[in-house]
Chains A and B, each alone.
Chain A
């Protein structure tokens, strides 16, 4: 079974731009969660999508948004990029039956200049 895939793997943007990251979950998984990882703040939860609906949300500003498609693939968008948005963005998928094991993708490394 293929694992979680994320595209692109690396991205460089400038302040003020917007960016869209993509995540394809493990086949059959219906829940996709997004996390931000930085050296200063560690791993922080952004949001979770299940059945095309946002089921949980972390404490991030409205510039961070996401969506999920009917095939469970998910995208997250960050608008008006700031330098502090530079991070590794990780996607995790799980069956979605409640508290179940989340499997992570390799991440997208975003650098904001």
Chain B
């Protein structure tokens, strides 16, 4: 079956540090890939997505590139802010069937001033 594996958290950084959260996936065909963010007490918000190999999704300074050869979709940001503290979820939606998304376990990011 499909699966998404994210790096264990929490990730703790100082403000303006570089962020990488690793995500790898297992799926047949060419799934679409997503990053969602969940702030405390809230639902998930789409951060960015990529629907085909080599696509780069970007939003609010965050980027992730769909790497088919390494089945990865790592999230990066050049300079994090305290307001980026949240839980980040990597997810995939398969390219066939009923398109049911599969989510990773989430990675908590804590940014200190």
To the question of whether A and B form a pair in one complex, the answer is: no
Chain B residues close to A by CB (< 8 Å): none
Chain A residues close to B by CB (< 8 Å): none
